[in-house]
């Protein structure tokens, strides 16, 4: 017999990410963040490999990362608008959790399942922050996929990548509702 959790289902049916540019201080303290991080790590993890890790970026670290962006953008030929957007993503943030995908060698668990597990950590952290009353957003961008930036800025090891940058803070404006996917257009029901 099911044991329904209607409050949790209602949250999931109405959850809405908050634009990172609308987040401000206060951001969660370390003490407030710990239960959110704990919840984030309760994801499917076949083989119990823990193919992810977290890097909590506080304001000084974010300022340092923002300063690294222009040189990498120039080296890669990134246009000015994308460069400024990447700088702002770090410069204007007060707290970001970098979810690092760190696949482990395994004969039983394919790497794609480990990557998907890291993505689950991102969504779980996003939802935990929203459920706790914070504003939160999952971002990436070109810097997340640039190995040199990830190595220099975050100390990522060989084979690691950024699954997501989860911005968490206090929401300054209500996020407008947006159109949602059409369930019937995207779902097939098969009886045989």
The Cα–Cα gap between 101 and 116 comes to 9
| Structural tokens at position 37 | 């991080």
Nearest alpha carbon to residue 91 among 64, 66, 56 = 66
The Cα–Cα gap between 168 and 178 comes to 20
Task: Cite the annotated binding site for FMN by residue number.
Answer: 15-17, 42, 46, 138-140
Task: Cite the annotated binding site by residue number.
Answer: 15-17, 42, 46, 138-140
| Structural tokens at position 17 | 């990410």
Our CA angle for 39, 153, 16, nearest 5°, is 35
Cis check for the bond before 165: say yes or no (omega within 30 of 0): no
The Cα–Cα gap between 189 and 192 comes to 9
Measured torsion, CA atoms of residues 139, 8, 176, 187, in degrees rounded to the nearest 10: 80
96-134 as b/e: b if 16+ CB within 10 A: bbbbbbbbeeeeebeeebbbbbbbbbbbbbbbbbbbeeb
């Amino acid at each position: 017999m099911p044991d329904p959790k209607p409050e949790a289902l209602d949250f999931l049916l109405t959850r809405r990410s908050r634009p990172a540019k609308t987040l401000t201080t206060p951001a969660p303290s370390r003490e407030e963040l710990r239960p959110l991080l704990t919840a984030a790590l309760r994801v499917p993890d076949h083989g119990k490999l823990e193919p992810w890790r977290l890097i909590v970026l506080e304001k000084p670290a974010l300022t340092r990362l923002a300063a690294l962006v222009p040189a990498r953008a120039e080296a890669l030929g990134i246009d000015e608008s994308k460069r400024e957007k990447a700088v702002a993503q770090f410069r204007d943030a007060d707290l970001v959790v970098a979810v690092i995908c760190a696949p482990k060698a395994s004969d039983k668990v394919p790497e794609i399942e480990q990557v998907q597990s890291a993505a689950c950590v991102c969504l779980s952290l996003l939802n935990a922050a929203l459920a706790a009353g914070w504003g939160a957003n999952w971002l990436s961008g070109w810097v997340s996929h640039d190995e040199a930036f990830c190595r220099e800025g975050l100390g990522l090891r060989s084979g690691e990548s950024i699954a997501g940058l989860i911005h968490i803070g206090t929401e300054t404006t209500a996020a407008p509702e947006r159109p949602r996917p059409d369930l019937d257009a995207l779902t097939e029901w098969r009886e045989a």
